[in-house]
Amino acid sequence: MISEFIKQHKLSEAFIDIANQYYVPLAEEIKTHQISADTPYFVGINGSQGSGKSTLSEFIKAYLTETHSLNVVVMSLDDFYFSHAKRHSLAETIHPLLQTRGVPGTHDMEQAKEVLNALRQQQTATIPRFNKATDDPHPVANWTTITKAVDIVIFEGWCWGVQAQSPEQLKEPVNKLEADQDPEAVWRTYANTQLSLHYASLYSFMDKWVMLAAPSFNDVYGWRLEQEQKLIAAVGSKPHSGLMNEQQILDFIQYYQRLTEHGLKTLPAACDHVFKLNAKRQIVEHSTKEVHE
């Protein structure tokens, strides 16, 4: 099963050891808790851009489906991004930086709440899909509709699980983007407020939290660049598409820096499993905490 997963996702053979040592035990633990759950068991996965959270999510799904015949649904926070037109409206009415997808306030969290509620209640749910190549959601006909009873729901996202910062923390810019384009802290304050109002309230859906912790934000650029190169290889680079070159990615990740660094400092203490990564995304430490359920 692992060999087939490696082939399908074009991973290196080193993934075999990672899967056997870390991911299979995690999947088995999730399965054990799911057995005693009256409703679907929800797992939240946090990780910075390019950290491997999508791969981890898909592996857990593949393993539990094939090994235990469980019905597993994987969702990404990215798939709830607002359309380009909606973000343009936010940019005009609140702050120009909201045109760019990324921070809290650029996702449709009402839609996310509806999907999570439907899955919890074992009702039909339709999960949107976002196309990063066009910077817009896929057509509704291409969204995923869940009609069968679900055993496990995995929800992954770069800021999923992160709590809002204090007003004091928002005062000083963390990078050139904030200093030059958000000197009055309007954009970051809006994002922080949205995180507090519309994201944190959904964290209670999660029964278990897992984090893939980058060594530092400096490593995220290389990881994100690798992601984009894979996307370009898969769909091709076209003029005026949502795909980015190296400089654009360097600019783009500045939108994520504040909450990524905040999450790296604060989230490990709140997670049930923390996999600390090195610059090559190898797991160098795994910590867990006892959870009373």
Give the tens place of pLDDT for each residue, 23-43: 999 999 999 999 988 889 999
Q: Does the pLDDT at position 291 exceed 50? A: no
Q: Is residue 292 part of a domain?
A: no
pLDDT at 100: 95
Q: Is residue 293 part of a domain?
A: no
Number of domains in the chain: 1
Q: Residue 91's domain spans which residues?
A: 2-280
Check if the beta carbon of residue 241 is closer than 8 Å to that of residue 79.
Answer: no
- 230 to each of 107, 179, 267, 275, how far by Cα in Å? 24, 31, 29, 24
Q: Does the pLDDT at position 242 exceed 90? A: no
Check if the beta carbon of residue 213 is closer than 8 Å to that of residue 277.
Answer: yes
Read off the pLDDT of residues 81-135 as tens digits, 9 standing for 90 and up: 999 999 999 999 999 999 999 999 999 999 999 999 999 999 999 999 999 889 9
Q: Is residue 290 part of a domain?
A: no
Read off the pLDDT of residues 69-82 as tens digits, 9 standing for 90 and up: 999 999 999 999 99
Confidence label for 289 from pLDDT (cuts 50, 70 and 90): confident
- SS3 assignment, position 154: strand
Q: Is residue 56 part of a domain?
A: yes
Q: Is residue 189 part of a domain?
A: yes
The pLDDT mean for the chain works out to 93
Q: Is residue 244 part of a domain?
A: yes
Q: Residues of the chain with pLDDT > 90: what percent?
A: 82
Q: CA-to-CA distance for 193 and 190, rounded, in angstroms?
A: 5
Q: Is residue 287 part of a domain?
A: no
Domain at 113, CATH number? 3.40.50.300
- 243 to each of 1, 81, 108, 174, how far by Cα in Å? 33, 16, 22, 25
Q: Is residue 291 part of a domain?
A: no
Q: Does the pLDDT at position 293 exceed 60? A: no
